[in-house]
Amino acid sequence: VGRIYSSKRLQYPMRRTGERGSGQFERISWDEAFDEIETKWKAIIDEYGPAAMAVLYGSGNYAVCSGVGAASATNRFINALGCAYINMDTDLAGVPTGHVAPGMGLGSGEPKDYHNAKTFVCWAANPSVSQPHNMHFIFDGQEEGHRYVVIDPAYNANAAKADWYVPIKATTDGALAFGIINELIANNWIDTEFVRSRTNAPFLIKEDGMFLHMSDLGVKPTAGEPDPATGEPTVIDPYVVWDEATQSAATVEEAQKPALQNPGDINGLKLHTAYENLLDILAGYPTSKVAEITGIPADDIHELARIYGEDGPVMTYVMMGNNHYLNGHYNYWSRMLVPILSGNVGVSGSGLGSPLMIPGIINWASASPTDAAGNPCPGQAVRYNINQIESIIDNGVYGNDPAVLKGVYITNLNPLATMADYEYYKRWMSKLDFVVVVDMFATETTNWADIVLPAAHWFEQVDMFTSYGTAPYVLWQEKAIEPLYESRSDFSIMKEIAHRLGAGEFFDVTEEEFIAEQLDTDAARELGVTFESLKENKCARTMAPYESLAAAMNKDTFSFGTATGRAELYTDTITKFYDIGQDYPMEKEMQPYWEPSPEATDTAEIRSRLPFHLLSEHMRTRTHSQWWENDFVKEFEAEPVLKISPADAAERGIEAGDEVRVFNDRGYVVMKAVINAGIPRGTLSTPRAWEGSEFIDGHMQSLLTNEEVYATPNQVFNEVAVDIEKL
């Protein structure tokens, strides 16, 4: 109710009258809005081509018709128009570990299995705030006598529920994992047979860093089944291991006992195993050094290893806590190896990762339609890295290719309030010829639009919620009321624009027809899910029953979803998320690796000048910036606050309620201080996603950098060194 009837609700289309960013608009009709969009979008296409207009969307709605869930109509819109797509580039630090386990998930696939874990390790996640619907599954395990361990820099509501809270220095989790693995090995807690048979630890690595294949030994590769992507035959060139049973080289499939160490001589080649490569890395992380890096005593590192070695099955819950740092992706691979090497994978109650579920019953082809004659739609012209947009506008190139960007259509996203580097977004949006923003509410981002379109609320339209979340269900979204004011569904807006731009034949469906297309798959039918059954039952499970999934888990047959079906301790094949000519030091990406964060790590050079690390938290009352417009929730979180430890506050003469200025070289923000004993010294923390108008002065997002590492584009919300002063 607070959202639907909010005073900040957009009620009618508007056209900008003042300077972009001024928030000065005039009311116009829908016909006028569509006429202007048609005229300006067509003019840009005619002069510069379809890729000169781009669609930028976020995670504001995970329904398929008016949101971005699964094979959404928003993707159909992009493909039908053949325009560019700007990737939001958030939560991507786990992407490079896809060769270990795609999707960062190694388990039965749902929270129902949590209570079967003898020990539940919550590592750099805060489900009490970010996934509160999962907490009761964790509590179920505690009530059965199982142990709940939380590893986190701050003592928060989640840590308060733990049986053991392990404070760690921010973004040193990858180093901690190395320390735990060393302890696992030293105490013989490695599941050797699992490592031998279900990982690529025995694979042999040549001096050039590439794996040894049979072709290296003179055996010609053979042709396999056609690659679905190219239609060309796949190449079968088996990996080679050293077989301890026969004391000879053998293919992985034929070896009786693949060696983890000390391979024998094979044609005079200098070889070592992937396991030996890991041991060389671990040599640089003895427990004493890891204790110094992480701030965790050596005895506690030993106890964490013992848990994995003796108190299994262990479930390791990992979300996005390590994601938003410049060294963020270096905290994933080594951490994933902890349960893998200890054998805490493949049995009920074990696993690692975020329980993010993309429904497997969805018809992904529905986002790429054909016309009546069967001709395909143009498809996405190009996928842009969001941190390169200003460079594209200014320089006319993207990587090594010419690129022109003149306009953007923004939906389901409020980048000015949520994305890193506030000034960056203002700059590039001010340089565009045409900006359209679709939203339910007036936000900082709508202030930067040329045309603002009022979107209908979720309860004002038919839709299907698919989620990338933590529940294996799709939900029927019933239309409860007619759209208020002059608002329209995102689906109807995109459909009208597609028709006006000559792509109507690819969007000639209703919401219900589009949902029916989404469920027209064999996978859906096998589970008894149809459009009619969903509409009648309102909810449908997208996975086999949990009981059958749990029963089917088997360590000997567990597949990691990689090309070999094994977890990888090393890889010789790296795929860039974006290939735009960036430097790419392969050695860091081919194996587990860790390095300090340039701003968050307490020993970073910048911390001598800016002594505090600023953390941002998910708010209890908002999903990113959503619900800021709902005044009811401000009874719980009324205004932005800065949390500071009692010792740091006393040292700076700060008391609760004082106005403080937080600043660095990029910007500043002013808010009130809160004294919080759960915040470690040298750290500040604040809930994230306030609108600029809610701060006393400045803007939180102005403190953040949009810098990125070569391997993983990301929004590094927590890569922030700052200082603080009392006003």
Helix/strand/coil (H/E/C) assignment for every residue in 450-512:
CEEEEECCHHHCCEEECCCCCCCEEEEECCCCCCCCCCECHHHHHHHHHHHCCCHHHCCCCHH
The torsion angles phi and psi of 374, rounded to 5 degrees, stand at 85, 10
Q: How many CB atoms lie within 10 A of CB 332?
A: 28
Separation of alpha carbons 340 and 196, rounded Å: 11
Separation of alpha carbons 359 and 236, rounded Å: 31
Separation of alpha carbons 548 and 199, rounded Å: 25
Nearest Cα residue to 70 out of 542, 485, 488, 629: 542
Structure tokens of 337? Answer: 């190896």
Structure tokens of 699? Answer: 């803007």
- Alpha-helical segments (H) within 19-162: 30-48, 73-81, 127-130, 135-143
Separation of alpha carbons 234 and 518, rounded Å: 30
- Average pLDDT score over residue span 169-191: 97
Q: How confident is the model at residue 321 (pLDDT cuts 50, 70, 90)?
A: confident
Nearest Cα residue to 392 out of 656, 51, 653: 51
**Residue 103 pLDDT:** 46
pLDDT at 532 over 60: yes
Separation of alpha carbons 520 and 514, rounded Å: 10
Separation of alpha carbons 252 and 274, rounded Å: 13
How large a percentage of the chain has pLDDT more than 70? 96
Nearest Cα residue to 524 out of 388, 663, 364: 364
pLDDT at 104 over 60: no
The torsion angles phi and psi of 352, rounded to 5 degrees, stand at -150, 150
- Alpha-helical segments (H) within 283-348: 287-294, 298-310, 333-341
End-to-end CA distance of the chain: 38
Q: What angle do CA 596, 673, 680 make, to 5 degrees?
A: 35
Mean pLDDT check: name the lowest of 204-213, 255-264, 634-643.
634-643
Q: How confident is the model at residue 299 (pLDDT cuts 50, 70, 90)?
A: very high
Strands 351-353 and 105-106: antiparallel
Structure tokens of 566? Answer: 């094994």
- Average pLDDT score over residue span 504-510: 94
Q: Helix and strand tally (H, E) in the chain?
A: 20, 32
pLDDT at 109 over 70: no
Question: 676-708 pLDDT, tens per residue?
Answer: 999 999 999 999 889 999 999 999 999 999 988
Helix (H, G, I), strand (E, B) or coil at 122: strand
User: Does 639 or 573 have the greater pLDDT score?
Assistant: 639
Tell whether omega for the bond before 313 is within 30 degrees of 0, i.e. cis: yes
Q: What is the mean pLDDT of the chain?
A: 92
The torsion angles phi and psi of 658, rounded to 5 degrees, stand at -65, 145
Q: Which of 320-334, 372-386, 444-458 has the highest mean pLDDT?
A: 444-458
Q: How many CB atoms lie within 10 A of CB 244?
A: 19
pLDDT at 711 over 90: no
Say if residue 695 is exposed, middle or buried (CB neighbours under 10 Å; 0-12, 13-18, 19+): middle
Q: How confident is the model at residue 110 (pLDDT cuts 50, 70, 90)?
A: confident
Nearest Cα residue to 184 out of 313, 350, 337, 69: 337
Q: How confident is the model at residue 96 (pLDDT cuts 50, 70, 90)?
A: low
Q: How confident is the model at residue 552 (pLDDT cuts 50, 70, 90)?
A: confident
pLDDT at 448 over 60: yes
Mean pLDDT check: name the lowest of 95-104, 130-139, 182-191, 520-529.
95-104
Q: How confident is the model at residue 654 (pLDDT cuts 50, 70, 90)?
A: very high
The answer to whether the CB of 205 falls within 8 A of the CB of 274 is: yes
Nearest Cα residue to 239 out of 693, 563, 660: 563
Q: How many CB atoms lie within 10 A of CB 185?
A: 16
**Residue 120 pLDDT:** 96
Separation of alpha carbons 495 and 395, rounded Å: 33
Cα–Cα separations (whole angstroms), residue 683 to 16, 110, 648, 718, 723? 42, 34, 9, 11, 10
Structure tokens of 702? Answer: 């102005």
User: Does 438 or 713 have the greater pLDDT score?
Assistant: 438
Residues in Cβ contact with 71 at an 8 Å cutoff, skipping those fewer than 6 apart = 64, 362, 363, 364, 365, 366, 367, 518
pLDDT at 43 over 80: yes
Question: 478-506 pLDDT, tens per residue?
Answer: 999 999 999 999 999 999 999 999 999 99
Separation of alpha carbons 326 and 313, rounded Å: 32
Mean pLDDT check: name the lowest of 10-19, 23-32, 357-366, 367-376.
357-366
The answer to whether the CB of 530 falls within 8 A of the CB of 490 is: no
- Average pLDDT score over residue span 95-111: 60
- Average pLDDT score over residue span 226-244: 88
Query: Which residues sit opposite 248 in a β-bridge?
Result: 243
Question: 398-425 pLDDT, tens per residue?
Answer: 988 999 999 999 999 999 999 999 999 9
Q: How many CB atoms lie within 10 A of CB 47?
A: 11
Nearest Cα residue to 339 out of 307, 366, 379, 368: 307
Q: How confident is the model at residue 620 (pLDDT cuts 50, 70, 90)?
A: confident
Mean pLDDT check: name the lowest of 172-176, 204-208, 543-547, 570-574.
543-547
